[in-house]
Amino acid sequence: MRILMATSEAVPFAKTGGLADVCGALPIELARRGHETAVMLPA
């Protein structure tokens, strides 16, 4: 499955709350399980 995570924050790039932790770790775990993942942050 191809998964795009569009978020306002992701560790290690930007962090203000718990969302950053999830958006930083979840794509790594999904990729480990065979999914194609990408994270998109605003400029």
Per-residue pLDDT tens over the stretch 9-22? 999 999 999 999 99
Residue 34 contacts by C-beta under 8 Å, 6 or more apart in sequence?
Answer: none
d(CA 17, CA 41): 15
Over range 23-41, report the average pLDDT: 97
- How far, CA to CA in Å, does 22 sit from each of 10, 13, 36? 8, 13, 17
Res. 1 pLDDT band, cuts 50 70 90:
very high
Q: What is the pTM of this model?
A: 0.82
Rg over CA atoms, the chain: 10
